[in-house]
A and B are shown apart, each in its own frame.
Chain A
Amino acid sequence: MPDWTTYVRSRLDLHDVRPQHEQDVVDDLAGQLEEAYREALARGLSPAEAEAAAADHVRDWPALARDVANSRRLAASIADRVETRAWDAAAAGSRRAGLVAGVLQDARFAIRLARRSPAFTAVAILTLALGIGANTTIFSWINAILLDPLPGADARRIVDVGEQSKTGAYTATSYPDFMDIRAATKTVQLLVHDMTAASLAGPSGAERIWVEIVSDNFFDVLRVPLVAGRAFQPPEGRAPIPVIVISERLSQERFAGRDPINQTLIVNGTPFTIIGVASARFASGYTGLIMDAWLPIQMSEKVMPGASRVPVRGNHWLNTLARLEPGVSIPQAAAELTEIKSRIAAANDGDVNSRMAVVPLWRSPRGAQSVMGPVLLVLMGMVAIVLLLACTNLANLFLSRASARRREFALRLSLGCARGRLMRQLLTESLILVSVAALAALIAQVWTAGLLTSFVPPNNLPIGLVPSLDVRVTIFTAVVAFVTAVLVGMLPALQAGRTDLAASIKGDAAQVAGGRRAWLRSSLVVSQIAFSMLLLVSAGLFIRSLGNVRLLDLGFRTDGVLLSSVDLFSAGYDRATGRQVLTRILDEIRALPGVESASLARRVPLGISTGSSSTTLDPEGYEAPKDEPAWAYLNWVAPDYFRTMRIPVLAGREFTIADRDDHRELFVVNRAFADRYWPGQNAVGKHIRIAKESCEVVGVVGNSKYRRLNEPELPFVYLSTTWNYRPDVVFHVRTASDPRQLAAPVGAVIQRADPALPVFDVTTLAEYVQAASFQHRLAASLLTAFGALALVLASIGLYATTAYSVSRRTQELGARLALGATRGDIMRLVLGQALRLSTIGLLIGLALAMAATQFFDALLVGVRPLDPVTFFGVTLVLTSIAVVASYMPARRAARLDPLQALRYE
Chain B
Amino acid sequence: MAHDELKKGSTELLILALLDGRPRHGYEIGKLIEARSAGRLTFRIGSLYPVLCRLEDRGLITGRWRERTGERRRRFYRLTADGRDVLRSQRTAWEEFSDAVNQILRNRHA
Given A31-B25, A31-B26 in contact, is the A64-B46 Cβ separation under 8 Å? yes
Q: Does B82 contact A (CB under 8 A)?
A: yes
**1/0 contact string of A42-83 vs chain B (CB within 8 Å):** 000000000000001111100110011011100100100110
Within 8 A of A (CB), among B16-50: 25-27, 30-31, 44-46, 49-50
Within 8 A of B (CB), among A555-603: none
- B53 touching A56, Cβ below 8 Å: no
Q: Which of these binds chain B: A33-41, A489-497, A714-722, A744-752?
A: A33-41
Q: How far is the CB of A53 from chain B (nearest CB, A)?
A: 11
- A57 touching B46, Cβ below 8 Å: yes
> Which B residue's beta carbon lies closest to that of A63?
B46
- A81 touching B74, Cβ below 8 Å: no
- A85 touching B58, Cβ below 8 Å: yes
- B72 touching A59, Cβ below 8 Å: no
**1/0 contact string of B76-90 vs chain A (CB within 8 Å):** 000001100000000
- B75 touching A27, Cβ below 8 Å: yes
Q: Does A28 contact B (CB under 8 A)?
A: yes
Q: Does A896 contact B (CB under 8 A)?
A: no
Chain B residue numbers with a CB within 8 Å of A75 are 57
Chain A residue numbers with a CB within 8 Å of B57 are 71-72, 75, 81
Q: How far is the CB of B75 from chain A (nearest CB, A)?
A: 5
Q: How far is the CB of A109 from chain B (nearest CB, A)?
A: 10
Complex: how many Å from CA A507 to CA B65? 26
Q: Does A900 contact B (CB under 8 A)?
A: no
Q: Which of A28, A72, A112 has the most CB of B within 10 A?
A: A28
Chain A residue numbers with a CB within 8 Å of B31 are 39
Within 8 A of B (CB), among A16-39: 24-25, 27-36, 39
Given A27-B73, A31-B72, A31-B75 in contact, is the A81-B26 Cβ separation under 8 Å? no
Q: Does B11 contact A (CB under 8 A)?
A: no
Complex: how many Å from CA A34 to CA B72? 9
Within 8 A of A (CB), among B64-110: 65, 72-75, 81-82
Chain A residue numbers with a CB within 8 Å of B25 are 31-32
- A31 touching B44, Cβ below 8 Å: no
Complex: how many Å from CA A78 to CA B56? 9
Given A27-B73, A31-B72, A31-B75 in contact, is the A68-B53 Cβ separation under 8 Å? yes
> Which A residue's beta carbon lies closest to that of B31?
A39
Q: How far is the CB of A501 from chain B (nearest CB, A)?
A: 22
Chain A residue numbers with a CB within 8 Å of B49 are 28-29, 32, 64, 67-68
Interface of chain A: mostly helix, strand, loop or mixed? helix
- B50 touching A67, Cβ below 8 Å: yes
The answer, among A56, A71, A78, A112, for a CB contact under 8 Å with B54, is A71
Q: How far is the CB of A112 from chain B (nearest CB, A)?
A: 8
Chain B residue numbers with a CB within 8 Å of A112 are 81
Chain A residue numbers with a CB within 8 Å of B53 are 25, 67-68, 71-72
Chain A residue total in the interface (Cβ 8 A) = 31
> Which A residue's beta carbon lies closest to that of B71?
A31
**1/0 contact string of A247-274 vs chain B (CB within 8 Å):** 0000000000000000000000000000
> Which B residue's beta carbon lies closest to that of A89?
B82
Complex: how many Å from CA A35 to CA B28? 9
> Which B residue's beta carbon lies closest to that of A61?
B46
- A32 touching B26, Cβ below 8 Å: yes
Chain B residue numbers with a CB within 8 Å of A72 are 53, 57
Chain A residue numbers with a CB within 8 Å of B27 are 31-32, 35-36
Q: How far is the CB of A222 from chain B (nearest CB, A)?
A: 57
> Which A residue's beta carbon lies closest to that of B28?
A35
Complex: how many Å from CA A28 to CA B53? 11
Q: How far is the CB of A135 from chain B (nearest CB, A)?
A: 35
Chain B residue numbers with a CB within 8 Å of A78 are 62
- A82 touching B44, Cβ below 8 Å: no
Chain B residue numbers with a CB within 8 Å of A24 are 65, 75
Complex: how many Å from CA A72 to CA B57? 7
> Which A residue's beta carbon lies closest to that of B45?
A57
**1/0 contact string of A843-884 vs chain B (CB within 8 Å):** 000000000000000000000000000000000000000000
Chain B residue numbers with a CB within 8 Å of A35 are 27
> Which A residue's beta carbon lies closest to that of B50?
A67
Complex: how many Å from CA A57 to CA B46? 6
Complex: how many Å from CA A56 to CA B27? 14
- B45 touching A85, Cβ below 8 Å: no
Chain A residue numbers with a CB within 8 Å of B74 are 31
> Which A residue's beta carbon lies closest to that of B72?
A31
Complex: how many Å from CA A202 to CA B81? 68
Q: How far is the CB of A668 from chain B (nearest CB, A)?
A: 84
Complex: how many Å from CA A39 to CA B31? 10
- B59 touching A36, Cβ below 8 Å: no
Complex: how many Å from CA A675 to CA B65? 88
- B50 touching A64, Cβ below 8 Å: yes
Q: How far is the CB of B23 from chain A (nearest CB, A)?
A: 14
Chain A residue numbers with a CB within 8 Å of B63 are 28
- B59 touching A82, Cβ below 8 Å: yes
- A60 touching B46, Cβ below 8 Å: yes
Beyond the given pairs A59-B44, A64-B46, A71-B56, 9 more chain A to chain B contacts, judged by CB atoms under 8 angstroms and listed by A's residue number, are A28-B26, A29-B45, A31-B27, A35-B27, A36-B45, A57-B46, A71-B53, A72-B53, A85-B82
16 contacts between A and B (CB under 8 A): A28-B49, A31-B72, A31-B73, A31-B74, A33-B45, A57-B44, A57-B46, A58-B46, A59-B44, A64-B50, A67-B50, A68-B49, A68-B53, A71-B57, A75-B57, A85-B59
Q: Which 5 A-B pairs have the closest CB atoms?
A: A67-B50, A58-B46, A57-B45, A32-B27, A71-B53
Which residues of A pack against B, CB within 8 Å? 24-25, 27-36, 39, 56-60, 63-64, 67-68, 70-72, 75, 78, 81-82, 85, 112
